[in-house]
Amino acid sequence: MPIYYFDTIEDTELFPDDEGVELQHADEAEAMARHALADLIRERLLDNHLGSLVIEIRDEQDEPLARFVLTSARVGFNRT
């Protein structure tokens, strides 16, 4: 089975995946990336940590397969 790697970039910080996960198909890798994003964004929002969150899927040849990007921001409305 092919191995997929999931690198995370939180704001400017890169967390490279050096272990990877064996999966049957790229669809599964995408589902896993979405699951991970949901996991990570929940924690960041609870910590009041806004900004950008990126997950990049790589294959064994280091070729990028897909990139998921989430940005979160507080939009302030001033009360008069």
Partner 1 sequence: MDSNDAVQPLLTALHIEGTLPTEDEARLRALSFRTRTFGEGETIVAEGSQPTESCVVVDGFAARVHFMEDGARQVSAIHIAGDFVDLHSLHLEEMDHEVSALGPCKVASVPHEELQHLVDESPHLMWLFWRLTVKDAAIGRAWISALGRLAADQHLAHLVCELYERLNAAGLADDHRFSLPATQIDLADMLGLSSVHVNRTIKLLCERGLLDWQQREIQILRPTALKELAQFSGEYLRLSMSEQRSPRRARVAR
- CA angle at 30 for the pair 29 and 36, rounded to the nearest 5°: 90
**What's the rounded Cα separation, in Å, for the pair 80 and 77?**
9
- Asked if 49 interacts with partner 1 (CB under 8 A), we say no
**CB-wise, 17 or 59, nearer to partner 1?**
17
Of the residues 46, 48, 75, 80, which one makes contact with partner 1 according to CB under 8 A = 46
In order of 10, 12, 45, 54, 78, the CA distances from 36 in angstroms are: 13, 18, 14, 10, 34
**CB-wise, 23 or 79, nearer to partner 1?**
23
Residues in contact with partner 1 by CB under 8 A are 6, 8, 10, 15, 17, 19, 21, 32-33, 35-36, 38-40, 43, 46-47, 55
